[in-house]
Structure 1
Amino acid sequence: MIKKLIFALSLIMAITLSAQKMNDPDAVKAAAEKLRLAMISGEKSSLESLILQELSYGHSGGHIDDAQEFVEKLVTKKSDFLTIDVTNQTVQIVGNTAIVRHHFYATTADAGKAPGDVTLDILLVWAKVKNDWKLLARQAVKAEKKK
């Protein structure tokens, strides 16, 4: 009887811990930070490890990249981020999906051009796959100018 009770309590604790980990905004923030660093480095394997093949990556100018195009642009430095700073980040988790919003300020040198500045507001959609958060969608919009 005691063994059954201990087993049942252990099972309940394991399920509770698993559910807490799944709804852990810090894990989503960590994935977003890995993405930020991978976008700066242009490291192909790092980028590919963070995204789903079904990725829809929307730019503020209207162009939408698929997963292959997103990775290729960063690896070849067609899109070259020298710095990326993220502020005002929020995370909302709904089941196996996380919605991340943040302000994005970057210095770029796309295709070897002189450095430029980019200021955007970003929406990221992350999907929980096994134990990892993977980027499913991203949409950028030009940041609203403060009055």
Structure 2
Amino acid sequence: MIKKLLIALSFISVSLMFAQKNSDQQAVADASEKLRLAMLSRDKNALESLILPELTYGHSNGHIDDAKEFVEKLVSKQSNFLNIENTNQSIQIVDKTAIVRNHLYGKTADLGKEPGEVNLDILYVWSKTKSGWKLLARHAVKVEKNK
């Protein structure tokens, strides 16, 4: 009887772990989509609600923004996305950290520059906080057009 009880408890425990992981993956996917929409709308409050103050935001040209610079560049249209399409997204949860990889294609109209396109592979690091998943780090690399 005790053996059957232990097996049942083990099964329930494993089931709960998988349910939590799936719930976290969905929450990270939702946060990623909210970030995409906030970047398009340049909504300062929405952007700030999705990032940690310690954010390090790496661009494909090697420049690294801190949290304040990341938000200000978007709000001021210094970095201006007209559209962003994320594809091939994968999410891996490790404790209270999520590693997200995706491909980003976007059209841009940055202040003082000709309209352009970006074709990037991106790595995001999200951290689970009491108020939800927050972006801690991001880094992008350019993808060759024929890839």
Q: TM-score, normalised by structure 1?
A: 0.84
Against the structure 1 CA distance between its residues 109 and 145, is the aligned structure 2 distance closer, same or farther, given a 3 Å change threshold? closer
Q: Is contact 1:50–1:133 with CA below 8 Å preserved after alignment?
A: yes
AA matched with 1:54: E
Q: Secondary structure at the match of 2:46?
A: helix
- 1:64 aligns to 2:83 (yes or no): no
Q: Is contact 1:23–1:93 with CA below 8 Å preserved after alignment?
A: no
Q: What is the rounded CA distance, in whole Å, between the counterparts of 1:22 and 1:131 in structure 2?
A: 18
Using the TM superposition, give the Cα deviation of residue 22 of structure 1 relative to its aligned residue in structure 2, in angstroms: 8.0
Instruction: Output one character per residue of 1:91-125: Cα deviation in whole Å (capped at 9) or x when no partner.
Output: 00000000000000000000053321100000000
Q: What is the rounded CA distance, in whole Å, between the counterparts of 1:73 and 1:108 in structure 2?
A: 13
Runs of 4+ aligned structure 1 residues displaced above 4 Å come to none
Unmatched 5+ stretches in structure 2: 1-11
Q: Secondary structure at the match of 1:78?
A: coil
Q: What is the rounded CA distance, in whole Å, between the counterparts of 2:23 and 2:107 in structure 1?
A: 33
Match of residue 5 from structure 2: none
Match of residue 86 from structure 1: 86
Q: Secondary structure at the match of 1:126?
A: strand
Q: Is contact 2:99–2:123 with CA below 8 Å preserved after alignment?
A: yes
Q: Is contact 1:98–1:125 with CA below 8 Å preserved after alignment?
A: yes
Match of residue 4 from structure 2: none
- 1:29 aligns to 2:17 (yes or no): no
- 1:107 aligns to 2:107 (yes or no): yes
Unmatched 5+ stretches in structure 1: 1-11
Q: Is contact 2:106–2:118 with CA below 8 Å preserved after alignment?
A: yes
AA matched with 1:120: L
Q: What is the rounded CA distance, in whole Å, between the counterparts of 1:143 and 1:24 in structure 2?
A: 29
Q: Is contact 1:22–1:96 with CA below 8 Å preserved after alignment?
A: no
Alignment RMSD (CA, Å):
2.1
AA matched with 1:125: V
Match of residue 122 from structure 2: 122
Q: What is the rounded CA distance, in whole Å, between the counterparts of 1:146 and 1:97 in structure 2?
A: 33
Q: What is the rounded CA distance, in whole Å, between the counterparts of 1:25 and 1:39 in structure 2?
A: 21
Query: Would you say how many aligned residue pairs link Structure 1 and Structure 2?
Result: 134
Q: Secondary structure at the match of 1:87?
A: strand
